[in-house]
Amino acid sequence: MMPSGKTALVTGSTSGIGKAIATRLARQGCNIILNGFGEEAAIEAERAGLAKEFGVKAGYSGADLTHPDAIEGMMHYAARDFGGVDILVNNAGVQHVAPIEEFPVAKWDLIIALNLTAAFHTTRMALPGMKAKGWGRIINMGSAHAKVASPYKSAYVTAKHGLAGLTKVTALEGAKHGVRCNLICPGYVHTPLVDGQIADTAKARGLTRDQVIEDVILKAQPTKEFVTVEQIAGFAAFLCSTDADQINGAELSIDGGWTAE
């Protein structure tokens, strides 16, 4: 059962996994705050569509999550217009593939800022309100790379491992206040981000696109299938339900068996 009347902020929700999660939570009666980049008209269509189809309040913040002051502005907007954030999904992320000795420093800084540091800032600002209400859900979007490593992904693997640590600390600090924090660890999901990874990996390893999909990506997943955004959205919604009240600080794989090996 999903508690009614809650407000969910989903970062990186103008496409891919984040968009699917926002849609699922809206379907279950949550007010939604979207965040991300994209064409203004498309984002407005998404926002208005959620509000109309599911009868919820839907807002949007275009905050650049690599800037702490922009994150603070987004969280103040959520407090002012929605009464605060009850469900926080830290989903925004970016990827770059290159050997360590060739990894651009600017790309390292960007990935750590967006994939890890942004989650710290949203969490630190959402927690006081959640504790005061005696209820909150924080879902961090990890990866199989929060548990295992792959070559050429030093910044991404580092960020996701760090996010696992942040999840556990947040879970412990929120436990007595009705706040739960968990890490969803998907395998490969066919999203625009993964399309970019396919192209980058092909270039880095001198492979064709089909070779990357068959011999690199799906090779890691025993089911030989991509995870779908709808499956991840359903998992996230479950973690917000009362059935998941005792799931806290967990690293939850949805990777077709990748990390079982």
Give ∠ CA 77-176-30 in degrees, rounded to 5. 40
Q: What are the tokens at 172? A: 């412990």
Task: Write phi, then psi, for 152 (nearest 5 degrees).
Answer: 75, 10
Q: Which residue has the tokens 């799931």?
A: 247
Q: Is the dihedral of CA 81, 115, 197, 149 positive or negative?
A: negative
Is 156 considered catalytic here? yes
Active-site pick, 60, 77, 152, 156? 156
Alpha carbon distance 145, 116 (integer Å): 13
Least Cα distance to 58 among 95, 32, 86 occurs for 32
Q: Read out DSSP for 25-63?
A: HHHTT-EEEEE--S-HHHHHHHHHHHHHHH---EEEE--
Q: What are the tokens at 88? A: 């926080």
First and final CA of the chain: distance in angstroms? 34
Alpha carbon distance 179, 76 (integer Å): 20
Q: Which residues belong to the active site?
A: 156
